Structure 1
Amino acid sequence: MIHIVPKPTDTPDDNSTGAVMRELERADARYGVLDLGAVNSLDSGLENELIWVCGIRQDGHQFETLNVLSLNNRVINTPESIVACASKVMTTALLLANNVRTPETVYTQSEGQARQFLQRHGKIVYKPLYGYDGNGIRLVTGPGELGPGPWYLQEYVKNDRDFRVFVLGGEAVGAIARVSDTLMHNIHQGGIGMPVAIDEEMRATAEAAAAAIGIDYCGVDLLLDREGYTVLEVNGTPNWHCMAAPIPKLLARYLIEREREMRA
């Protein structure tokens, strides 16, 4: 049986969890909904089960509950990989450690270092460490715009679009371009998504990013600069808006296969 933790941001018009549930039903796969708020993780009764985390709230209780459940169960995505993706600085550190291209970045409490980084690049991007859906991202062009630290800052890469690549089981299976006339191309910030073909460099970069995080599936956000694709971030509970690829069906099949492997 597949135990499902629904995405808390699902709505009737945008229901990622429900889309995968429908595909599981078509495949006659058994599943149930797991309410992390109603689980005593130290005595859950769950052992050697597959738990799919479509999404969680960014709070300590849900992270800790999943961590404990992962001791005796197969959790997709793992708590460690979700936490790594939730933290932009940890994502960047893992990308750098695995030689995956990402914009030059600094994470510092030192205002002097932040100012030096700004002076070197002239124009930089401030991002909240635990932000989502493009919230709080802003362009910084002068020291007075830095705001309070600590600062997670990236060099500004001039662009009019970014790319979201969906990687499942180590393989890039779908991609979109997100276009806007603002700094953020995220669809929740007004970007327009359209399916695109996955070229070989895009595939290699996205798959390398997923491998660096050590994650079952993810959305890898890329920019195209003069040297090729560079990784902005990796999303551990991704949406798949506008993708032509049948992501819910592919994801349901992946969950079914992993659950069968556990029973073999």
Structure 2
Amino acid sequence: MIHIVPKPTDTPDDNSTGAVMRELERADARYGVLDLGAIDPLDSGLENELVWVCGIRQDGHQFETLNVLSLRNRVINTPASIVACASKVMTSALLLHNGVRTPETAYMRSEEQARDFLLRHGKVVYKPLYGYDGNGIRLVTEPDDLGPGPWYLQEYVQNDRDFRVFVLGGEAVGAIARVSDTLMHNIHQGGIGMAVPIDEEMRAIAEASASALEIDYCGVDLLRDREGYTVLEVNGTPNWHCMAAPIPKLLALYLIESEREMRA
């Protein structure tokens, strides 16, 4: 049986969890909904089961509950990979450690260092450390606009679009371009998404990113500059708006096959 932790941000019009559930039903796969707030992970009764985490709240309780469950169960995505993706600093560190190209990035508490980084680049992008859906991201051009620290800053890469590549089981299976006339191209911030083919350079960097985060599936966000693609971030609980690939079906089949391998 597949135990599902629903995405807390699902709505009737945008229901990622429900889309995969419908595909599981079409495949006659057994599943149930797992409420992380209604169990004691130290005495959950779950052992050697598959738990699919479509999304979680960014709070300590849900992370700790999943961590404990992962000791005796197969959790997709793993708590460690979800935590790594949730932290932009850790994502950047893992990308750099594994030689994956990403914009120059800094994380510091020193205001002097933050000002130096800004002055060196002229324009930088400030991102909340644990932000999501593009919330709180802003362009900074003046030192007095840095705001309170600590600061996670990336060099600004001029662009009119970004790309999200959906990677499943180590393979890039779908991609979109997101276009807007503002800094943020995220669909939740008004960007318009359109399916695009996956070229070989895009495939290579997206798959390398997923490998660096050791994650079952993810959305890899890219920009393109003069040298090629560069990775902005990796989303461990991604949406798949506008993709031509049947992501819910592919994800359902991946879960079914993962459970089957557990029983083999």
> Does 2:169 match 1:162?
no
- Give, in angstroms, the shift of residue 57 of structure 1: 0.3
1:9-45 CA-partner distances (Å, limit 9, x unpaired): 0000000000000000000000000000001000000
Identity, % of aligned pairs?
A: 89
Structure 1 equivalent of residue 16 of structure 2: 16
Structure 1 equivalent of residue 225 of structure 2: 225
- Per the normalisation by structure 1, the TM-score is 1.00
SS of the residue 1:177 aligns to: strand
> Does 2:204 match 1:207?
no
- Give, in angstroms, the shift of residue 50 of structure 1: 0.2
Amino acid at match of 2:81: S
Stretches of structure 1 that go unaligned for 5 or more consecutive residues are none
* Aligned ranges 1:53-64 → 2 under 5 Å: 53-64=53-64
> Does 2:241 match 1:246?
no
CA distance in 1, matches of 2:233, 2:77: 16
Structure 1 equivalent of residue 152 of structure 2: 152
1:103-152 CA-partner distances (Å, limit 9, x unpaired): 00000000111011011000100000000000000000000110000000
CA distance in 2, matches of 1:113, 1:190: 33
1:175-221 CA-partner distances (Å, limit 9, x unpaired): 00000000000000000000000000000000000000000000000
Structure 2 equivalent of residue 171 of structure 1: 171
SS of the residue 1:210 aligns to: helix
Structure 1 equivalent of residue 113 of structure 2: 113
- Give, in angstroms, the shift of residue 254 of structure 1: 0.1
CA distance in 1, matches of 2:39, 2:114: 43
- Give, in angstroms, the shift of residue 170 of structure 1: 0.2
CA distance in 1, matches of 2:200, 2:39: 44
Structure 2 equivalent of residue 143 of structure 1: 143
- Give, in angstroms, the shift of residue 252 of structure 1: 0.1
Runs of 4 or more off by more than 3 Å in structure 1? none
CA distance in 2, matches of 1:118, 1:20: 43
The count of residues paired between Structure 1 and Structure 2 equals 264
- Per the normalisation by structure 2, the TM-score is 1.00
CA distance in 2, matches of 1:13, 1:152: 33
CA distance in 1, matches of 2:26, 2:143: 56
CA distance in 2, matches of 1:47, 1:90: 30
